[in-house]
Structure 1
Amino acid sequence: MPESRLRVASAVLLALTVLNVPAAHAAGEPPVEVTVDTRAALAAVPETGIGANHAIWDANLGTDETADLLKEAGVRLLRYPGGSYSDIYHWADHTAPGGYVAPGTGFDTFMRAARRTGARVMVTANYGTGTAEEAAAWVRHANITKGYGVKYWEIGNEIYGNGHYGAAWEADDHPDKSPAEYARHVVAYADAMKAVDPTIKIGAVLTTPAGWPDGLVGEGDDGTWNEVVLSNAGSKIDFVILHWYPGAFDRAGQIPDMIHLVRQQIAAHVGPGSERIEIAMTEFNTGTSSNGATTQPGALAAADAYATLLAHGVFTVDWWNVHNGIGAVSEVAGHIDYGDFGLLSSATCTSDGSVCEPPLNTPFAPYYALQMMSRFARPGDQFIRATTDHAEVAAHAVRRPGGDLAVLLINSSDAPRSVAIRYSGFEPASGAPAVLSHVNGATGITASREGSATDRTLPPLSLTTLILRPASAESGLPGAPGQPAASKVTDTTATISWPAASAGARPIVKYEVHRQTGTGTEQLGETAGTSLKVGNLRPGTRYTVNVVARDSGGGVSWASPPLTFTTGTPASSSCTVRLSNESDWGSGYVGAIEITNDGEPIDGWTLTFDWPRTWQSLSSGWNAVWTQDGSRVRVVNESHNGSLPTGASTTIGFVGEYSGPNVLPAVFTLNGTVCTTR
């Protein structure tokens, strides 16, 4: 992490009592509709999901008080030695030339504190000024000499920030700063480190979709950073590393595409067996030094992002940072924000001494977001889809092994919001549910048992978790089907197969395939076997499906793990379209569309396509007349290229803009006919 970003954001928390707001519509508005569907399963909650960063310049890194506070927050993974310091830190003599190393922050001290917290460890080996031999010696000290059993080892921090793309904040002494050189060293580090301990997992640094310098191709490179690193080092790594500082509180909706694009890149550039490679978000923070990163809005965004990332299979999300230091002071949501990116106060003051943070280790609002997350989603739970129809209310849900359900509701509005919750595949027990709540300015999470499982009013700027018992005990049900797979995927059909479920008290009579929608699920079909061909699919569309087993008494299993696949376009058509991303600068790109007429001669044509996401738009176009209406782009020929004999082609170009993960258009129609996309 750049040093300029190390000293940035926090908040003073003033005690408020939890608002006991009656279940009434806010300002006369209809209730927000929340849907929780147990058939729409997402990822399982990992052991290492809730994480945070420690830094060797923090003198409180190893204290019992800090360790105990992190344990109370439910932190299950701690990263060391801290952002960009990782690439100047030499573990053996505990030095970081050019940086400050606080006393009492050595590796063994860190490990003692991590064990007191009950957290696993992520170590970042020094790539910038270190060597593979130095990293291997660290593995030997940690796992052979000391028996710490450190499993996760990153190779470098934000190495793409070494000047190769212009900006330079990350130390890198290698004369060649290209992604190919980094990949070559990742292979050397992995070989040396795994020779010491073959059980460790090695992580390589990637760029985050829509985050600089993602999409850029450096001079002399064969592709983007991610393409080159994955192609050259993919066979040696076990996970990839993302960092995300969205700088705003409304970006969680971009996460599914972000993770999907990374998985696409891994599959495309690593090849067979790439599914073994996991994704870690080893640095994350929601805001900037002036928009309330550590007051309540930042806490709400933190909970939303943590839940969304974990639900989509990221195995750890690590908050930057445990302690950080005062930054730009402002007032946010009625409370002082100290511009500190830490979870806990560092008790520092502004340079003129006019404003000081609260006492050391006072928790800031995001601390309570992590604590709420750890109580809402426990290791072994399974995320299930929860949706709302209001932008200011987010919902997440997990199903627990004993049959209970937990629902996290996030109200980012400064007004109360009434919600009506509908459950599919689950009937809550009668009576008041257990409720966990954190409201604006509160210095803790309150626990109560009150209200309804289906109709509630959420306090302003609040986190609310409902813990629900099922109306009837779940016993004797079938086990969940295994991980589904897709084959024979066309533009309108796919064959879904899955490992059989284990029978419960009664025999299994059929399996049902459900696809996830924006408001729950819909059934695509059912079969007595373990394979089903589904039809009536839309070309160029991403589908996420689950399989459930039903027994002879009507009992339904838990949903299988999710399967995501994308349909293609027609194998043959009267037209073919090839879209190329000619050059990219991280917020826009030059696109080229080659249109080929494979049918009867054409005299005049209109090409249409839709932007897949709301954050994409047309900036300009050439060799045709380009217009955009909503998400639909309409392209009409010019006089010089309107005639296309059979087999003839024409190429048109455009500039596209984006402010989120850039999912390229996949479906094009020419004069009303869906083309084959190459």
Structure 2
Amino acid sequence: MPKTLLRSAAAVLLTLTALHVPPTYADEIPPVAVTVNARAALATVPDTGIGTNHAIWDSYLGTNETADRLKDAGMQLLRYPGGSYSDIYHWADHTAPGGYVAPGTDFDTFMSAARRTGAKPMVTANYGTGTAAEAAAWVRYSNVTKGYGVKYWEIGNEIYGNGHYGSAWEADDHADKSPAEYARNVVAYADAMKAVDPTIKIGAVLTTAANWPDGIVAGGDDGTWNKVVLSLAGSKIDFVILHWYPGAYDKAAQITDMIQLTRRQITAHAGAGSDRIGIAVTEFNTGTSGNGENTQPGALAAADAYATLLANGVFTVDWWNVHNGIGSVRQIEGQTDYGDFGLLSNATCTADGSTCEPAVNTPFAPYYGLQMMSRFVRPGDQFVKAATGQAKVTAHAARRPNGDLAVLLINASTDTAYPVTIGYAGFSPAAGAPSVLTHVNGGTAITTSAAGSATSQTLPPLSLTTIIVHPSSAQTGLPGAPGQPAASAVTDTAATISWPAATPGSRPIVKYEVHRQSGGQFGETAGTSFTVHNLTPGTRHTVNVIARDSGGGVSWASPPLTFTTGTPATSSCSVKLSDQSNWGSGYVGSIDITNNGAAVSSWTLGFSWPRTWQSLDGGWNATWTQTGSNVQVVGGALAAGASTNIGFVGSYSGPNVLPSVFTLNGTVCTTL
């Protein structure tokens, strides 16, 4: 065993012995394969990405110690005045009728704290019990009178919780509590607020995919909350607001679909120029009180979710919240979990006084998860695709402007120290031990060392590890990255990809390469467009373009382009799937089938659920069966030109990506 591995194994053994957990030694299991593809670029890291929520009921909001703790964590955005309190808060007299307002939490104090932290502010204007005039006056005070320059302004908080869908926790004094009324008021707020400062950005509240009340159409509405709000207010907003409390620690795999579905709704309903509209997740927490949200499982979930959301183009993710208070207390992985949703302790005790949190502003484990994120990626870095061969090990990676590559490795196993081997595509690491940042279960700091190699590390159980790898050669004189690609003429099997030319470095550019993130290269060209053929119908593709110069020098990858192929423009069959009614975890689907060809004595319709969290609960007007993810529906005779209707109940526990490709007796149909 190499000496470096011996030292790593010894450290793991000491940690596990202290926790009384029987270890599984790294040399007893095969290495986990980690792949990092620097050609598969994702989103660029924003300067607002890592955020959290302040609240006016938190008496420690304005203290220097709190601000300094948040600064040390690398906090880039602070949201105010605090969740549902936003819809009862009146900024001018610093009151929240029906709620508690702590001393020293007014807007000026918040701004002073944000400046000490070095974080950008985001303010939620009072929709529930306020007015557009009140919000505009706040903008005037903030940005004209005081010169604070607050850029991001939300209109209300979780307004869909006003009782319109049956559950009411959000204050809303409007007689009409529909999404249409909210949208009309968003327009009024935006007009009034931007009349004061046209440079501000206005955000509107949306529902999050597969989270109540997403997908539900209430009586009298023209569609779901998101469809109505985007259709009526889309031209006036600059970003949309999602809140995500997944209720478990293994939901990061759903994020890509969650964000893709939100973007699809924005494109479909927000009108011309909707690509300007950003996405903010202004509240995130695991949502599992007493099950590890302020111990190490919460830290791992925080880092994984933040990295995945930011890699998918979200411009801020904001933890709920800085201080919260004690909840259900239990032991989680050898540590006391206080059931506290805060990043920092506020030293509260249980009602019987038997258990108290540690001293005020003691960091909980998720604090270190976000601190690790701020050390893993910095504004201007570019996420690149990373993957592993072990479900308990997650990888993220980002390329830095100086050419370095940072790799974040998360080991969610409670008792196994996994050795990993890291392979790189589009990047050659330098020899020698990289800089390694580590946070382990029960740790009170992130440690830094030079250990292992760029291609081999050992991950302690329940740990976060970031390695910073230098390139093997100087990154000078290379071409610039090509611009944002676009897709046109997309059919069922082909698409034309075009991009703005890259800026040459010290040598002329000789060609561009089009790479697909699923693996391999579509092709190369000397021009700035390329037509791809032989694609699979109804399939999502993500591609990047790189420039190569006459000396073999390669640029950074372009921003990603994602497009989805359709189905044949003409076929012997056509299918239309519609969502008839939805209750947030299931729906009634209706399928119209038309036979455009010769008469058949029987037919078999086939399709597959796009995601593992979808299933068939039953169907009618035909014989339905499901095998794995594949669904088969068998019916009787269907004359030429005739149509038939069948229906089903589908269930889902994640973003509900509807099936888009159907075959009838083996032929791919046109999906309407």
TM-score (norm 1): 0.96
Aligned counterpart in structure 1 of residue 547 of structure 2, from 546, 549, 553? 549
Contact 1:249–1:287 (CA under 8 A) maintained in structure 2: no
**Residue aligned with 2:166, SS:** coil
CA apart distance, 1:112: 0.3
CA distance in 2, matches of 1:60, 1:484: 47
Cα distance in 1 between the residues matched to 2:247 and 2:363: 21
Which residue number in structure 2 is paired with residue 668 of structure 1? 662
State the percentage of identical aligned residues. Answer: 77
Report if the CA contact (8 A) 1:18-1:446 is conserved: no
Is 2:580 the partner of 1:582? yes
Matches within 5 A, 1:380-391: 380-391=380-391
Q: Does 1:643 align with 2:637?
A: yes
1:102–1:425 distance in 2 versus 1, CA, 3 Å: same
Aligned partner (choices 652, 655, 658) of residue 652 of structure 2: 658
**Pairwise CA distance, 1:29:** 3.0
Equivalent position of 1:3 in the other structure = none
Partner of 1:470: 471
| d(CA) in 1 for partners of 2:463, 2:376 | 14
Give the match's secondary structure for 1:353.
Answer: coil
Conserved 8 A contact 1:397-1:408: yes
The structural deviation recorded for 1:333 is 0.9
The answer as to 2:203 corresponding to 1:209 is no
Report the secondary structure of 1:474's partner residue: coil
After the TM superposition, which residues 523-534 of structure 1 pair with which residues of structure 2 at under 5 Å, given as runs? 523-534=521-532
Q: Determine if the alignment matches structure 1 residue 591 to structure 2 residue 589.
A: yes
Q: How much does 1:19 deviate? A: 3.5
Query: What is the rounded CA distance, in whole Å, between the counterparts of 2:159 and 2:333 in structure 1?
Result: 36
Secondary structure in 2 matching 1:603: coil
Any conservation in 2 of the 1:56–1:105 contact (CA below 8 Å)? yes
Conserved? CA contact 2:44–2:383, under 8 Å: yes
Q: Does 1:187 align with 2:187?
A: yes
CA distance in 2, matches of 1:511, 1:257: 29
Counterparts of 1:17-56 in structure 2 under 5 Å?
Answer: 19=12, 26=26, 28-56=28-56
Question: Secondary structure of 1:68's match?
Answer: helix
The residue correspondences of 1:82-97 to structure 2 (distance < 5 A) are 82-97=82-97
Contact 2:12 2:417 in 1 (8 A): no
Q: Could you tell me how far 1:252 is from its partner in structure 2?
A: 0.2
SS in 2 for 1:602: coil
Change (3 A) 1:600 1:251: same
Matched, 1:253 2:247: no
In 2, distance between residues paired with 1:70 and 1:593?
52
Provide, for residues 50-88 of structure 1, a one-character-per-residue CA deviation record: whole Å limited to 9, x for no partner. 000000000000000000000000000000000000000
Maintained 8 Å contact 1:18/1:439: no
Aligned pairs for 1:234-273 within 5 A:
234-273=234-273
2: CA distance, partners of 1:287 / 1:433:
36
Map of 1:435 onto structure 2:
436
Matches within 5 A, 1:157-306: 157-306=157-306
Instruction: Determine if the alignment matches structure 1 residue 634 to structure 2 residue 635.
Output: no
1:610 aligned residue: 608
Paired residues of 1:344 and 1:362 also in contact (CA < 8 A): yes
- Secondary structure of 2:211's counterpart equals coil
Q: CA deviation at 1:609?
A: 0.4
- Cα gap change, 1:261 to 1:188, in 2 (>3 Å): same
Deviation string 1:579-610 (CA, Å, 9 cap, x unpaired) is 00000000000000111000111110111100
1:623 aligns to what? 621
Q: CA deviation at 1:271?
A: 2.3
- Give the CA RMSD over aligned residues: 1.3
Query: Secondary structure, in 3 states, of the residue corresponding to 1:221?
Result: coil
SS at match of 1:467: strand
Name the CA shift for 1:303/1:372 in 2 (closer, same or farther; >3 Å). Answer: same
> What is the rounded CA distance, in whole Å, between the counterparts of 2:107 and 2:399 in structure 1?
38
In structure 2, C-alpha distance between the alignment counterparts of 1:206 and 1:456, rounded to whole Å: 41
Q: For residue 498 of structure 1, what is the amino acid of its counterpart?
A: W
Q: Helix, strand or coil: the match of 1:643?
A: coil
* Distance of 2:307 and 2:14 partners within structure 1: 26
Write the distance in 2 (CA, Å) between the matches of 1:57 and 1:227: 34
Q: Within 1, Cα distance between the matches of 2:137 and 2:287?
A: 37
Deviation string 1:140-171 (CA, Å, 9 cap, x unpaired) is 00000000000000000000000000000000
Q: Please list, as runs of the form range in 1=range in 2, the aligned pairs for 1:131-150 lying within 5 A after superposition.
A: 131-150=131-150
Letter in 2 for 1:427: S
Aligned 1:335-354 pairs, distance under 5 A? 335-354=335-354
Relative contact order higher in (CA < 8 Å, ≥ 6 apart)? 1
By how many angstroms is 1:452 displaced? 1.2
CA contact (8 A) 1:18 1:437 kept: no
Contact 2:290/2:340, CA 8 A, preserved across alignment: no
Give 1:661's aligned amino acid: P
Shift of 1:20: 8.0
Query: Structure 1: which 5+ runs fail to align?
Result: 1-16
User: Judging changes above 3 Å, is the alpha-carbon distance between structure 1 residues 34 and 21 closer, same or farther for their aligned structure 2 residues?
Assistant: farther
The one-character-per-residue Cα deviations of 1:373-409 (angstroms, maximum 9, x if unpaired) are 0000100100000011111100000000000000000
